[in-house]
Amino acid sequence: MSLFKRVSTGSADRLPLLAIMRLTLPKLGVAYLFTLLLSVFNRVMINELQIAAALIGGLYFAYRIMNIFQVYVGRYSDRRPFWGLRRTPVIVGGLLLASLSLVPLPHLAIAYSQNPSVPYFALMLLCLLGFGFGFAANGDGQNTLIAEMTEGKKNRPAVVATVWLFQIVFIVISGIASSIILQIADTQAGAPPGCTTAECAAIRSRVAVEMMPKFFLAGPIVSLVGLLPLIGLERKVTVEEARALAATPGLNMRQAYARIFSNSQARVFFFFVVVSIFALFLQDSILEPFGADVFKLAPRQTAQFQPIMGVGTIVAMLVTGILASWKPIPKRTIADWGLVTSAFGFALLALSAFTLVSPALYAGIAILGVGMGVFNVGALSMMMDMTVPGEAGSLMGAWGMAQALSNGFAQFAGGLLRDVGLQVTGSAVTSYSFIFVVSIVSAFVAINLMARVNVETFRRMTREEMQMVLAAEA
């Protein structure tokens, strides 16, 4: 029972290790669902089921659109506790909704591939909208909980690095596990690892399709296991705090967004998040198809891309988190380092496409992972710095919305650029290389935007806006 004893953040200047570890475990379900949907199943839908990459990218973008509700969810949880808790119910309910929404998806995708029709597509869209809303609520709730528990703590960068490091660890584990399970299933079906015949390739494709429903059925169970350590972690609001929150006038979504974007610093930071995430994740929906189209890799081989990238991210986040806690480094500098490193990784991927040199492919993926790891520590710490007490949920919702919508648009744009490029040029090498070049250019645009952000100016302007609103309501 001691595991679930509420951890006090008190007046200590560092968050306790046990509290940090309990904050990381909900990422188990997030990582599992992320790996299945955006890595393994993404490849299966495009290459095995032959569903257009642009269509898949559109579905992914649709679920990202649900992130427009992050500001509303954050603002609601700021002011409306449930059983004395503001963040935990949103985290738990959001992740369970997300995992349950995906259970029917593989069945619908298989049916759509056999009979492309509006009803099947509409049901797939409905699944992803439910997943998107749950994922958005979960992300906003957990980010806000971390921001509140690390407010004024010297080890905030280390906490951020640890939580997202473990998410990457869980992604790596999920990717490796899915690859091993697929390899075992391939062998049992008559396609051992060394077989390169067309018959073995057909068996592997069939096995990959058949395994997807089983993978997604485990999603709610994995999610629930990861959520259990949250019990007793969040501080309950007092009766007086609950009354004050209930008396606080609410804002509709339009008013909430207007409040945030009237702040010039908030606008610049919002667009920094949009452009930087676009740069990093334009490859997200096409990296595994890139391995299949250019290097002719099997599903079990492209399933290893995420683990390779994840290892680079893990090492980078670990080292960066330790350095940032030991020696103060400006968070904007950390984010910039991550973008520059990622640009180098994209350059290697483009080079590998023209040279067909496999080591360059895997090195590019690993370096891209390193860049993402460094960027995560800097950018996520900046997001938490760009909040103020009383508005943490809505502001984290705004940054999360920018991140998620840009991610979704990047996935859609990546798939669209791939399909259009193949039709126009007829060359997979040219099409994928162009995508990597767009990512490089976008990374340097984001660096320019970050140079215009000032945390103290943002906080001062936000406090002044809050005071004016309170005065108007008095």
Residue of higher predicted confidence among 89 and 341: 341
In this structure, what token pair is assigned to residue 242?
Answer: 């609950």
pTM of the model: 0.69
According to DSSP, the residues that pair with 82 across neighbouring strands are 85
The amino acid present at 268, given as its one-letter code, is V
Q: What is the CB neighbour count within 10 angstroms for residue 159?
A: 26
Half-sphere exposure of 95 (CA within 13 A, CB side): 31
Mean model confidence pLDDT for the chain: 80
Residue 340 is predicted with a pLDDT of: 96
Contact 274, 405 (CB under 8 A): yes
Residue of higher predicted confidence among 382 and 335: 335
In this structure, what token pair is assigned to residue 276?
Answer: 């930087």
Half-sphere exposure of 264 (CA within 13 A, CB side): 3
Residue 463 is predicted with a pLDDT of: 64
In the DSSP assignment, the letter for residue 11 is S
Q: Which of 227-241, 273-287, 312-326, 343-357 has the lowest mean pLDDT?
A: 227-241
Nearest residue to 311 via CA among 270, 368, 383: 368
pLDDT over 70 percentage in the chain: 86
Cα dihedral: 367, 368, 372, 375 (round 10)? 70
In this structure, what token pair is assigned to residue 40?
Answer: 């393994």
Nearest residue to 99 via CA among 11, 193, 216, 6: 216
Task: Read off the pLDDT of residues 256-271 as tens digits, 9 standing for 90 and up.
Answer: 666 667 777 888 888 9
Residue 264 is predicted with a pLDDT of: 79
Residue 457 is predicted with a pLDDT of: 79
Q: What is the mean pLDDT of residues 35-54?
A: 76
Q: Is pLDDT of 474 > 50?
A: no
Indicate the SS3 state at residue 194: coil
Residue 449 is predicted with a pLDDT of: 92
Q: How far apart are CA 209 and CA 189, in angstroms?
A: 13
Residue 393 is predicted with a pLDDT of: 65
Task: Read off the pLDDT of residues 241-259 as tens digits, 9 standing for 90 and up.
Answer: 666 656 555 555 566 666 6
Q: Where are the domains of the chain?
A: 15-473
In this structure, what token pair is assigned to residue 108?
Answer: 């619908």
Classify the phi-psi angles of 263: left when phi > 0, otherwise alpha if psi is within -120 to 50, otherwise beta.
beta
Q: How far apart are CA 258 and CA 254, in angstroms?
A: 6
CATH of 15-473, one of 1.10.10.10, 1.20.1250.20, 1.10.540.10, 3.40.50.1820: 1.20.1250.20
Most confident of 43-57, 77-91, 210-224: 210-224
Task: Read off the pLDDT of residues 151-202 as tens digits, 9 standing for 90 and up.
Answer: 767 677 778 778 877 887 788 788 788 888 888 888 888 878 777 788 887 8
Q: What is the CB neighbour count within 10 angstroms for residue 7?
A: 19
Task: Read off the pLDDT of residues 71-123 as tens digits, 9 standing for 90 and up.
Answer: 777 777 766 767 767 788 888 888 999 999 999 988 898 888 888 888 888 99
Alpha-helix residue ranges (DSSP H) falling in 296-391: 299-302, 305-326, 331-355, 358-385
Residue 28 is predicted with a pLDDT of: 85
Q: Which residue reads 């808790």 in tokens?
A: 85
Residue 242 is predicted with a pLDDT of: 62
Residues near 234 by Cβ (< 8 Å), separated by ≥ 6? 6, 85, 86, 87, 88, 145
pLDDT tier at 10, thresholds 50, 70, 90? very low
Residue 3 is predicted with a pLDDT of: 40
Q: What is the CB neighbour count within 10 angstroms for residue 395?
A: 29
Task: Read off the pLDDT of residues 20-34 as tens digits, 9 standing for 90 and up.
Answer: 888 888 888 888 888
Residue 365 is predicted with a pLDDT of: 93
Task: Determine the Cα angle at 17 with ends 13 and 19, to 5°.
Answer: 90
